[in-house]
Amino acid sequence: MALKATIFKAELQIADMDRHYYAAHNLTIARHPSETDERMMLRLLAFALSADEQLGFTRGISSDDEPDLWQQNLSGEIEHWIELGQPDEKRLRKACGRARRVTVHPYSGSSADIWWTQHGDHLQRFDNLAVIAFPAEAGAALAPMARRNMQLQCNIQDGEAWLSDGETDVSIKPQKWKTA
């Protein structure tokens, strides 16, 4: 018998001074049994950095043909495809062909660096691809905030994100390895 996803609810207040985006989002996040709190919270951070009314979580890990997050327009076309981790070049080629914009967030420290060293030159050809790496310690710093019901605030300014749940405050400065 397969294990079912655990459902998390998050009320996320976003103040993104870089994009002039200010909104509250009530999110439902399904965490696959194989997903850690760290990775789930990094998905939440990726949401905050690209927040939009049309941005949503997908089936993610449990689906081969969907990213972790995507933004679709009213016609069902994919505006923004967002992946976490270190996808292979074939998957990114497919994503760049299907979406107007693609963002990858590598997050696992030295293995992310190795992935970028091996694939960075090949990925330069994709004009609509951005690679924005999360620091290795980001997941561990965010994991204590993971609760079944969360109330979070996220402020973004000068490329740095501050997340707070009222008890814990975390500052994360993603690194832009490639811009679209």
**110-136: burial string, b at 16+ Cβ within 10 Å, e else:** eebeebbeebeeebeebeebbbbbbee
In order of start, what are the domains of the chain with their CATH numbers? 11-165+172-178 (3.10.640.10)
Q: What is the pLDDT of residue 144?
A: 96
At residue 155, what are phi and psi to the nearest 5 degrees?
Answer: -110, 135
Tell me what percent of the chain is helix, strand and coil, each rounded to the nearest 5.
Answer: 25, 40, 35
Contact 6, 34 (CB under 8 A): no
Task: Categorise residue 109: left if φ over 0, alpha if ψ from -120 to 50, beta otherwise.
Answer: left
CA–CA dist 58, 69 (Å, integer):
6
**Residue carrying the six token digits 């270190």:** 86
As averages over each run of 10 residues, the pLDDT of the chain (180 residues) reads 84 98 96 93 97 89 80 95 95 96 94 95 96 96 97 98 96 96
Q: What is the pLDDT of residue 65?
A: 78
Burial class from Cβ neighbours inside 10 Å (0-12, 13-18, 19+) for residue 83 reads: buried
Contact 66, 43 (CB under 8 A): no
- DSSP class per residue in 61-104: GG-SSS-SEEEE-TTS-EEEEEEES---HHHHHHHHHHEEEEEE
Q: What is the pLDDT of residue 109?
A: 82
- HSE at residue 36, side-chain half, CA atoms within 13 A, is 12
